[in-house]
Amino acid sequence: MKKLLFLFLSLVAINLFAEDNYEVGVAFGRPDSNDFGEVLSSQTAPYSTNTKVVMIDVGYKIVDDAFDLPLDFYVKGGFAKFFENGYADDVYENTLYIKAYYTFDVLKNAFRLGFAEGASYTYGTLHVEKLDAIKNHGKNSHYLNYLELSLDYDLGNIVDSTAFKKLYLGVEIKHRSGIFGLINNVKHGGSNYEVMYIEKNF
């Protein structure tokens, strides 16, 4: 936990000197036993293991208003710690991915819909991924495809303060999989986490 806090504070310090193209975020989530499509349609089934994940990530905007739309692309890197609640040793993860945000207004309030695609590497095997592999006669892999789907809200809409401008509160699905066997022959395996996060653009 100390390493996580130190890394987060270091990233914040770096971003104090950056322009508006940077972002940093922190997140907290729990695993879900349903597949990605079921979680996406609000059919959630949290594991009873009480395992958790804490994440931080940083990003840099590489495309602004793509195709003359309110569509921005970021390259992002993340670090996560999975708290395995005694079922196994805690597991660390690195992610590298591209994330697109589409900004839209609802009653003059700005929301962002985000989708990410990239790679995930865990330094160990997650307990819930072991359970999923056993249940579906699959296998595990440290390296898997990484997806995120998110929806967030700009808190600057409701708080009249510079500090809250482009400060986003959101929810997301964090997904690891082998893409039906394309990666390391993992046809059944991986994990889904329901996540809440807060993210700041600099």
Helix (H/G/I), strand (E/B), else coil: 157 = helix
Is the model more confident about 54 or about 21? 54
**Structure pTM?**
0.84
Confidence (pLDDT) at 177:
87
Whole-Å CA distances, 192 to 5, 98, 147, 178: 24, 19, 10, 13
Report pLDDT for 22.
94
Q: What is the pLDDT of residue 104?
A: 94
pLDDT tens digits, 66-119 = 999 999 999 999 999 999 998 889 999 999 999 999 999 988 888 999 999 999
Q: What are phi and psi of 194, to 5 degrees?
A: -90, 125
The pLDDT value recorded for residue 102 is 97
- Hey, what amino acid is at 137? H
Beta-ladder partners of 95: 78, 120
Burial of 65 (0-12, 13-18, 19+ CB in 10 A): exposed
Q: Where are the domains of the chain?
A: 2-201
Closest Cα to residue 193, out of 8, 25, 36?
A: 36
Q: List the beta strands (DSSP E) in the chain.
A: 22-32, 52-63, 71-83, 91-106, 109-122, 143-154, 167-177, 191-201
Backbone angles phi and psi of 68, in degrees to 5 = 60, 30
Per-residue confidence (pLDDT) for residue 15, from 0 to 100? 43
Residue 88, judged by CB atoms within 10 A of its CB (0-12, 13-18, 19+), counts as: middle
CA distance 147 to 118: 7
Given a cut of 90, whether residue 53 has pLDDT beyond it is: yes
Checking if the pLDDT of 17 tops 70, the result is no
Chain mean position to CA 92: 14
Candidates 2.40.110.10, 1.10.10.60, 1.10.260.40, 2.40.160.20; correct CATH number of 2-201?
Answer: 2.40.160.20
Q: What is the mean pLDDT of the chain?
A: 87
Of the candidates 129, 118, 127, 116, the one whose C-alpha atom is nearest the C-alpha of residue 186 is 129
Question: Is residue 42 pLDDT above 60, yes or no?
Answer: yes
